[in-house]
């Protein structure tokens, strides 16, 4: 009997999980509470409760070759750093290509997930859902994949801002920011100089009188942005900060401690569901989690946003080894040197995890060899006519130069007569091999 898998959430992770379940012969059912997939990357004019929200101008800060699904390259003509609308276009291409949409139950919330009474024997789960009409249903699944993301609830630490209760201006979280127009000719303060903070500060600088940015964990530093230019100053946080008309708190509270499932994690999980990979012991898994958390704690300040941070390449290789798809670098160099050199000295693009093992993709080699072409394609200004093919004599000139250099070290008279005059030899060869 085919094992049924509940996939909760239809964002990028949810789509990857559906695809990986199908690859492994599992039966996925994805529950998405909204009317479309895409998760974080679906722009909405108005923020929705319990759902991530982005502003209109968001552009991803990961290159298309690093963020794509491992067996579906992003089109070459797409920009290397894509606007959120293009990311959604890519997701639709991916879903259409692998026919994933038919496995998604839209407008359906998951109310509860719990182990069945016979879980120790069956390993099954009870999943309760509710559709948009309020109808509730209970389902039985052999496995559950949580793909709800973690950028859902804004973190508004108002207790950290004395005088905020008497502030007469407007303040809100960046989750509620959409466009800069309503802030034209006003003064703005941006609290938090992370990705969103810098984005919004620069965008507001086009319409406001002045934008001042404060790193949330380091008050003495201030970034002032005027006419899209940023300057860093030393500053003492004064009581007068309550005068600006806008404050944006650029922090996000993760929802619980659930890690979003990447495509590689989905491939690993579905192999576990099939019994092809055995889970480590609970003790070893907890120890590994603690080790990673301690490593991240040493690198970052105390913050909710880095609780699930990992080193990308090291983490991908770790999971790839478990799945059995980690590239064998020595074998690649011996059997396919061109690909081997690209994998070892090039970027760690996802295609390399499709070269061998479960889920091997025939197009992985070509995707690796053409990745730089796709990077260059969107930067080309216009198509040009192909140059006419002309016969090149560069190699003959190189031979002639080598012969002439050799003649400088040995007795010229000892060379064969046809080598004593390289220029005349070249003329004779050209006479028999006219340029095309």
**Of 275, 248, 54, 88, whose CA–CA distance to 170 is shortest?**
248
- Domain assignments of the chain as residue spans, ordered by start: 1-153+256-279, 156-250, 394-432
Supply the DSSP string of 63-86, one letter for each residue. -HHHHSBTTBPPPTTS-SS-BHHH
Distance of CA 231 to the CA centre of its chain: 29
Read off the pLDDT of residues 32-66 as tens digits, 9 standing for 90 and up.
999 999 998 999 998 888 888 899 999 998 999 99
pLDDT at residue 419 tops 60: no
Fold of 1-153+256-279: FAD/NAD(P)-binding domain (3.50.50)
Q: Terminal CA-to-CA distance of the chain, rounded, Å? A: 66
Q: Is residue 297 very low, low, confident or very high in pLDDT (cuts 50, 70, 90)? A: confident
Give the Cβ contact number of residue 415 at 10 Å.
Answer: 15
Q: What is the pLDDT of residue 206?
A: 87
Q: Is residue 273 very low, low, confident or very high in pLDDT (cuts 50, 70, 90)? A: very high
C-alpha distances in Å from residue 380, one per residue of 169, 337, 383, 410: 46, 29, 8, 51
Q: Is residue 154 very low, low, confident or very high in pLDDT (cuts 50, 70, 90)? A: confident
Read off the pLDDT of residues 347-361 as tens digits, 9 standing for 90 and up.
999 999 999 999 999
User: What proportions of the chain, in percent to the nearest 5, are helix, strand and coil?
Assistant: 40, 20, 40
Supply the DSSP string of 398-414, one letter for each residue. HHHHHHHHHHTTS-GGG
**Do the domains 1-153+256-279 and 156-250 sit in the same CATH topology, yes or no?**
yes
Task: Indicate the CATH number for domain 156-250.
Answer: 3.50.50.60
Q: Which residue has the higher pLDDT, 423 or 63?
A: 63
Q: Is residue 412 very low, low, confident or very high in pLDDT (cuts 50, 70, 90)? A: very low
Read off the pLDDT of residues 362-406 as tens digits, 9 standing for 90 and up.
999 999 999 999 999 999 877 666 666 555 555 555 555 555 555
- Token readout for 16 is 């990857």
Read off the pLDDT of residues 301-348 as tens digits, 9 standing for 90 and up.
666 655 667 888 999 999 999 999 999 999 999 999 999 999 999 999
* Triad 15, 266, 140: Cα angle to 5°: 80
Q: What is the pLDDT of residue 306?
A: 55
pLDDT at residue 259 tops 60: no
Q: Determine phi and psi for 233, rounding to 5 degrees.
A: -130, 155
């Amino acid at each position: 009997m085919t094992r049924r898998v509940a996939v909760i959430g239809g964002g990028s992770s949810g789509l990857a999980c559906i695809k990986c379940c199908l690859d492994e012969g599992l039966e996925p059912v994805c529950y998405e509470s909204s009317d479309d997939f895409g998760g974080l990357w679906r722009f909405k004019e108005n923020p929705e409760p319990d759902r991530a929200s982005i502003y209109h101008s968001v552009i991803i800060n990961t290159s298309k070759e690093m963020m794509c699904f491992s067996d579906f390259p992003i089109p070459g003509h797409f920009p290397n750093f894509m606007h959120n609308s293009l990311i959604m276009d890519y997701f639709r291409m991916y879903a259409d290509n692998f026919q994933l949409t038919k496995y998604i139950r839209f407008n359906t919330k998951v109310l509860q997930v719990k182990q069945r009474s016979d879980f120790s024997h069956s390993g099954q789960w009870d999943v309760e859902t509710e559709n948009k009409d309020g109808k509730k249903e209970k389902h039985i699944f052999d496995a559950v994949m949580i793909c709800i993301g973690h950028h859902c609830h804004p973190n508004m630490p108002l207790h950290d801002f004395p005088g905020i209760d008497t502030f007469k201006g407007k303040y809100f979280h960046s989750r509620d920011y959409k466009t800069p127009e309503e802030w034209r000719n006003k003064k703005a303060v941006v609290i938090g100089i992370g990705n969103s903070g810098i984005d919004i500060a620069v965008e507001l600088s086009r319409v406001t009188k002045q934008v001042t940015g404060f790193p949330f964990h380091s008050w003495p530093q201030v970034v002032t942005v005027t006419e899209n230019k940023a300057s860093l100053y030393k500053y003492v946080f004064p009581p007068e900060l309550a005068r600006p008309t806008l404050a944006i708190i650029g922090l996000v509270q993760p929802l619980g401690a659930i890690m979003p499932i990447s495509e590689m994690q989905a491939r690993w999980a579905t192999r576990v569901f099939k019994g092809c990979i055995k889970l480590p012991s609970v003790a070893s898994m907890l120890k590994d989690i603690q080790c990673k958390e301690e490593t991240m704690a040493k690198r970052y300040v105390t913050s909710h946003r880095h609780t699930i941070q990992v080193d990308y390449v090291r983490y991908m290789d770790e999971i790839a080894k478990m799945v059995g798809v980690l590239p064998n670098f020595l074998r690649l160099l011996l059997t396919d040197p061109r690909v081997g050199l690209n994998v070892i000295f090039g970027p760690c693009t996802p295609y390399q995890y499709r070269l061998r093992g479960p889920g091997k993709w025939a197009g992985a080699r070509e995707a690796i060899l053409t990745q730089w072409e796709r990077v260059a394609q969107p930067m080309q200004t216009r198509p040009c006519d192909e140059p006419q093919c002309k016969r090149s004599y560069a190699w003959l000139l190189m031979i002639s130069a080598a012969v002439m250099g050799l003649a400088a070290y040995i007795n010229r008279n000892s060379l064969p007569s046809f080598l004593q005059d390289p220029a005349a030899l070249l003329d004779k060869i050209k006479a028999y091999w006219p340029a095309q």
